[in-house]
Amino acid sequence: MDHALPAWYDRLMKKYPVVTQAEWQLLDSIATVKHIKKGDTFLRYGKVARYSAFVISGMFKFSILDEEGNEKIVKFGFADDFLANCESYNRKAPSAISIVAVEDAVVLRINIKKLQPLYDLHMNLLHVNLQLYQELLEQQSEHQYILSLKTPLQRYRFLLERRPAIIQKISLTNIARYLYTSREALSRARLYLLDQTRNFCD
């Protein structure tokens, strides 16, 4: 029997219109709602990924450690985004990334083992899986492009023009880690752009 789905599914239905109401209910039956506090991990370095999740509220960072043990951020996850490390799950290998809440968050957590058999039965879910994979590849190539820009100023300007949500919602420290630059250099770039804007308005 169909049960009423929580309100956050309305947003997911808009984002992934190919999935039917019945399929969302099927997903809901294997999913659990988890509250994750700021600073806690959804997936820890060195752990094999067993779960994926849709973000209901809050934000996450996907981070790696460089040779010196410094944190670098490879992407952010916002509301309605998908959290996963498919490579770790498929290879049964320890995760090279950590997925951490940057503010208190709520996720819809799904055991990947339970999810995979559904792809054979429900092409729409497989379609969403491919869409998510496509999004991930696009985000990775965009991040590579940002890092190919020579200066912190160019990198910050790119975010300002193309990804204002990151500028608005993420702390300067975490943006610096995403742009692979120092907080000081980023602070100078931001001040420079603010001055330019003021001069333009004067």
Instruction: Count the helices and strands in the chain (H runs, E runs).
Output: 9, 8
Residue for token pair 């990947």: 112
Given a contact cutoff of 8 angstroms between Cβ atoms, the answer to whether 29 and 88 are in contact is no
The CA distance from 93 to 91, in Å, is 5
Q: Is the pLDDT of residue 155 over 60?
A: yes
Q: Which of 98, 126, 136 is nearest to 23 (CA)?
A: 126
Report residue 184's pLDDT band, with 50, 70 and 90 as the boundaries: very high
Report residue 1's pLDDT band, with 50, 70 and 90 as the boundaries: very low
Q: Which amino acid is at 83?
A: L
Report residue 198's pLDDT band, with 50, 70 and 90 as the boundaries: low
Q: Which of 96, 99, 65 is nearest to 82 (CA)?
A: 99
Q: In what order do the strands lie in the sheet with 31-36?
A: 31-36, 105-111, 51-57, 82-83
Predicted confidence (pLDDT) per residue in 33-86, tens digit: 999 999 999 999 999 999 999 999 999 999 999 888 899 999 999 999 999 998
Q: Which amino acid is at 71?
A: E
Tell me which DSSP letter residue 55 carries: E
Residue for token pair 């043990």: 69
- Angle between helix axes 152-162 and 123-148 (nearest 10 degrees) is 140
Q: What is the pTM of this model?
A: 0.87
Q: Is the pLDDT of residue 10 over 50?
A: yes
The CA distance from 50 to 94, in Å, is 11
Predicted confidence (pLDDT) per residue in 76-133, tens digit: 999 999 999 988 888 899 999 999 999 999 999 999 888 888 878 888 888 888 888 8
CA distances (Å), 104 to each of 14, 55, 63, 170, 173, in order? 24, 11, 17, 13, 18
Residue with the bigger pLDDT between 97 and 193: it is 97
Can you give the pLDDT at residue 45? Answer: 93
Could you write out the DSSP letters of every residue in 76-96? EE-TT-EE--HHHHHHT---S
The CA distance from 35 to 73, in Å, is 22
CB-side neighbour CA atoms (13 Å) of 101? 20
